[in-house]
Amino acid sequence: MLRRFTLLAILLSTKPLAAEPVAEQPKVKILIAFASYRERPKHPNIFFYEHDGVSQGKIVGSVATPRGVASAEGHPSLSHDGRFCAFTFELENQTGQVQLWDRKEQKLADAGTINDSPNAQMGPSLSANGNLIAFAAWNRPKAVGPGWNVFLYDREAKKHIDLPNLNTANFNDRMPSLSGDGRFIAFASNRKGGVGLTDIYLYDRTEGKLLPLPELNSKNLDIEPSISGDGNLVAFVSDRPGSGGRDVYLFDRAAKKLLPLPGLNSNAQDQSPALSPDGRFIAFVSERLGGEGERDIYLYDRQTQKLLPTPGLNSKAEDFDPCVIVLKAE
């Protein structure tokens, strides 16, 4: 009898403990603005997509410029509250302009005198409150030199802001990305003295000078920067040896190193990264097999280190030029 009780006590003492419940990650509300040919095969439009940060999402609207005219919309940029969306707008056979869509009022907002140039202006990037707009312009009057230069416009003051020591003559400075407070501008340039064919540069408006990024660039092509809200993280594209022809990379300025992005890149072309202001999410474009169309938009969560399902985001047409923000936690 004593032996039986002893055996029972041993069995009870070695019984596996019940697994503790795993705390659920709080859901977030993500807003992605992007361009797509889904409505018109020759002319892209801007659409808006909401996602819960886990696995569900849906299209929630679009920029409602007239669909009956030959026009193209691309490269959207969102204010951090999701109200304003700046984008490139071009009527057929006319120069590109920067336009501003008010999602709350569902109409075009006053962009002031930003388009006071006879030549193309495109690739806008908004500050957090939507007041400052960085953009690239071709042969703009009073520019440092011909070709592409980076400019900054203040909507409230209705004037362009000087950017001393940013642009160069005889070379192209383009693809600007503005930090949330408007202090930092990341951009791409093929100017002399760089590490590779085209490099990423970072301009500090407070200091009025370029900040060194020696650990970021390579001897290859480094383009399409997207900066976090605080200006510390820079996502970009490079064709340096990696997973595919072009891959997405993430650079931490404070740590002075590239951060790992396991599961993001493929052996196809991965490009056009958009970093959320908090640095958690990266929306990007890929030509990998298995997508809905030739180019599709993917959403990567750095916290879980995986691609998230995005039902309803992509179409059989091409979907590209994403911008992503986190609206609020739920």
The answer to the question of residue 295 being in a domain is yes
Any domain includes 323:
yes
The three-class DSSP label of residue 9 is helix
Number of domains, the chain: 1
Q: Residues of the chain with pLDDT > 90: what percent?
A: 83
Average pLDDT over residues 181-197: 96
pLDDT of 153 strictly over 70? yes
Burial 308-319 (b: 16+ CB within 10 A, else e): bebeebbbebbb
Dihedral (CA of 59, 46, 99, 301) sign: positive
Output phi, psi for 44, to 5 deg.
Answer: -75, 155
Q: Which of 93, 83, 84, 79 is nearest to 43 (CA)?
A: 93
Report the pLDDT averaged over residues 58-62: 98
98 CB-side CA count, 13 A? 29
Report if residue 204 sits inside a domain: yes
Residue 17's CB: how many other CB atoms inside 10 A?
A: 5
Q: Give the torsion through C-alpha atoms of 36, 244, 201, 147, to 10 deg.
A: -60
Residue range 105-120, pLDDT digits in tens:
999 999 999 999 999 9
- Which pLDDT belongs to residue 26? 64
Q: How far is CA 237 from the centre of its chain?
A: 11
What is the sign of the dihedral through the CA atoms of 183, 134, 236 and 77? positive
**Identity of residue 154:** D
- How high is the pLDDT of residue 25? 57
Q: At 11, phi and psi to the nearest 5?
A: -60, -40
Query: Does a structural domain hold residue 12?
Result: no
- CATH number of the domain that residue 264 is part of: 2.120.10.30
User: CB neighbours (10 Å) of residue 261?
Assistant: 20
- Is residue 73 in a domain? yes
Amino acid 1: pLDDT: 41
Average pLDDT of 72-83? 97
pLDDT tens, residue by residue, 10-32: 344 444 444 444 445 567 999 99
Q: CB under 8 Å to 81, separation ≥6 — which residues?
A: 128, 129, 130, 327
pTM of the predicted protein model: 0.91
Instruction: For the chain, give the mean pLDDT.
Output: 91
**What's the pLDDT tens digit per position in 211-259?**
999 899 999 999 999 999 999 999 999 999 988 889 999 999 999 999 9
Domain that holds residue 164: 26-329
Cα distances (Å, whole numbers) of residue 194 to 36, 197, 224:
34, 8, 16
Per residue in 266-312, pLDDT (tens digit) is 999 999 999 999 999 999 999 999 999 999 999 999 999 999 999 99
Q: In this structure, is residue 7 part of a structural domain?
A: no
Whether 330 has a pLDDT exceeding 60, the answer reads: no
Which ranges constitute the DSSP H helices of the chain?
Answer: 2-13
Residue 329's pLDDT is what?
A: 60
In a domain, 249, yes or no: yes
In this predicted model, what pLDDT tens digit does every residue of 214-223 receive, in sequence order? 899 999 999 9
Provide the pLDDT for residue 67. Answer: 78
Q: What is the mean pLDDT of residues 178-193?
A: 97
Helix (H, G, I), strand (E, B) or coil at 35: strand
Please check whether residue 16 lies inside any domain of the structure. no
Pair 50, 42: CB distance under 8 Å = no
